[in-house]
């Protein structure tokens, strides 16, 4: 989502600035940030320290900080990071030209006001670092869930959806530029809802509208909340060949006790019921997830519940993290971060090891199968091989032959690792 935001920012500033790939040429550097985990913020602090030396060599250089970290820390950043000239929260990107102008005249400037309406729907993003094949399309902003560990509702505000007309317009523009794949983005994308003049567009209906723009367009989405994964959406995915057969369904924990503390709304049984519906309706669908270990008060039994749900679902891939307390969240105010870091690390290593086994088992089941792959680029390990992803979002490596980036190709899987399918062209 930060990448998509950066493309919006590039569009807002394109009349006054041109992009450069050489940081030493830049007179303006914008650092777009995330506050989901402490590790992400620490990387930003380190990066800003590195920029201090660059600023000493270039007296014209302005440095701005954007996004969730700007929203969360606000003016405090000017005391901790003197390299900054201005900061802008996620809903303040339209004010960047004024913020930049003010700071160029020696005024430290900031805008971190959250909006109830801003979606940037009228701004066509600049695809400045794209492969020309896949693009992100933001369809909504903010979040209403208030999970006890999460800072997003406080840094990105409440949910608001873009009109389907502007979404389809952006996708039509991408099709004209020969893009072959879009990923619809939202913090909780399947709660998308647009109402106007008696018309109501749910996320499932929007997915149908996007899929029907072109049979050659692949459609993905991220990220789902289990409570909003409707039967209608699952059936829509099954119905359309060009909607990719993969669902990212964050579980966070397999323990009902932890799920209650996390304010996740669903319980283990409800989550597994959604998985069952996916398996019955879309048998070839991959399921990926997010997992947090070491949340407040997590016992060894709670941890074992997470390992057991991983085995029961058999996730194809997972994003796995140690709990990181975020200031301002309900957990930081009402719960004790009482699991020692060493124990969090141990539990995380267990989760990572198990997911490695599950990913390898999943990929082994694909040996001998034929998949249609959208070519995204050249393999990092060999110029004679290309890589792309299948509908299940698995990376596939195969011999180049006469094929080019942006083409579809049918390949047969012959080998695999836990991370990659290795194939030959049919």
State yes or no: pLDDT of 130 exceeds 80: no
- Rounded Cα distance between 324 and 254, Å, is 18
Confidence band for 150, pLDDT divided at 50, 70 and 90: very high
State yes or no: pLDDT of 129 exceeds 70: no
Per-residue model confidence as pLDDT tens digits over 190-235: 999 999 988 899 999 999 999 999 999 999 999 899 999 999 999 9
Look at residue 70 in the predicted model and tell me its pLDDT. 85
Per-residue model confidence as pLDDT tens digits over 27-43: 999 999 987 778 888 99
CA atoms within 13 A on the CB side of 153: 14
- Rounded Cα distance between 126 and 8, Å, is 7
What percent of the chain clears pLDDT 90, i.e. is strictly above it? 83
HEC profile for the chain?
A: CHHHHHHHHHHHHCCCCCCCCCHHHCCEEEEEECCCCHHHHHHHHHHHHHHHHHHHHCCCCEEEEEEHHHHHHCCHHHHHCCCCCEEECCCCHHHHHHHHHHHHCCCCEEECCCCCCCCCCCCCCCCCCCCCCEEEEECEECCCCCCCCCCHHHHHCCCEECCHHHHHHHHHHHHHCCCCEEEEECCCHHHCEEEECCEEEEHHHHHHHHHCCCCCCEEEEECCCHHHCCHHHHHHHHHCCCECCEEECCCECCCHHHHHHHCCCCCHHHHHHHHHHHHHHCCCCEEEEEEEECCCCCCHHHHHHHHHHHHHHCCCEEEEEECCCCCCCHHHHHCCCCCCHHHHHHHHHHHHHHHHHHHHHHHHCCCCCEEEEEEEEECCCCCCEEEEECCCCCEEEEECCCCCCCCEEEEEEEEECCCEEEEEEC
Look at residue 369 in the predicted model and tell me its pLDDT. 98
Determine the average pLDDT of the residues in 370-377.
97
Per-residue model confidence as pLDDT tens digits over 58-114: 988 999 999 988 888 887 888 899 999 999 999 999 999 999 999 988 888 889 888
385-389 and 181-185 strand pairing: unpaired
- Rounded Cα distance between 389 and 396, Å, is 6
> What domains sit in the chain, N to C, each tagged with a CATH number?
2-111 (3.40.50.12160), 130-244 (3.30.750.210), 248-259+278-365 (3.80.30.20), 370-425 (2.40.50.140)
Look at residue 40 in the predicted model and tell me its pLDDT. 83
């Amino acid at each position: 989502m930060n990448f998509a935001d950066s493309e919006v920012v590039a569009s807002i500033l394109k009349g006054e600035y041109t992009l450069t790939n050489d940081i030493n040429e830049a007179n303006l550097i914008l650092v777009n940030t995330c506050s989901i985990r402490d590790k992400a913020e620490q990387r930003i602090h380190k990066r800003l320290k590195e920029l201090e030396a660059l600023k000493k060599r270039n007296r014209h250089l302005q440095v701005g900080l954007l996004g969730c970290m700007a929203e969360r820390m606000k003016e405090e950043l000017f005391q901790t990071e003197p390299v900054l000239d201005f900061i802008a929260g996620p809903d303040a990107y339209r004010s960047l030209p004024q913020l930049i102008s003010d700071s160029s005249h020696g005024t430290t400037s900031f805008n971190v006001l959250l909006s109830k309406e801003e979606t940037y729907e009228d701004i066509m993003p600049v695809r400045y670092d794209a492969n020309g094949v896949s693009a992100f399309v933001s369809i909504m902003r903010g979040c209403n869930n208030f999970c006890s560990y999460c800072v997003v509702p406080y840094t990105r505000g409440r949910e608001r959806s873009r009109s389907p007309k502007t979404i389809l317009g952006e996708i039509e523009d991408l099709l004209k530029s020969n893009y072959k794949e879009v990923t619809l983005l939202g913090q909780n994308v399947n709660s998308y809802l647009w109402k106007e003049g008696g018309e109501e567009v749910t996320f499932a209906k929007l997915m149908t509208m996007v899929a029907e723009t072109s049979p050659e367009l692949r459609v993905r989405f991220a990220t789902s909340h289990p409570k909003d994964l409707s039967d209608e959406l699952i059936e829509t995915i099954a119905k359309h060949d060009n909607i990719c057969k993969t669902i990212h369904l964050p579980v966070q924990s397999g323990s009902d006790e932890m799920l209650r503390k996390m304010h996740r709304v669903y319980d283990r049984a409800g989550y597994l019921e959604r998985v069952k519906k996916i398996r019955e309706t879309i048998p070839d669908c991959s399921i990926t997830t997010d997992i947090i270990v070491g949340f407040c008060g997590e016992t060894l039994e709670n941890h074992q519940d997470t390992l057991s749900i991983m085995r029961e679902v058999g996730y194809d891939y997972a994003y796995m993290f140690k709990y990181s307390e975020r200031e301002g969240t309900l957990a930081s105010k009402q719960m004790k971060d009482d699991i020692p870091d060493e124990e969090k690390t141990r539990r995380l290593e267990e989760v990572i090891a198990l997911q490695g086994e599950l990913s390898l088992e999943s990929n082994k089941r694909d040996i001998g199968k034929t998949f249609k792959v959208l070519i995204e680029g050249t393999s990092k390990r060999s110029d004679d091989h290309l890589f792309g992803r299948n509908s299940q979002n698995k990376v596939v490596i195969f011999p180049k032959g006469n094929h080019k980036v942006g083409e579809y190709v049918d390949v047969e899987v012959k080998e695999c690792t836990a991370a990659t399918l290795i194939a030959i062209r049919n």
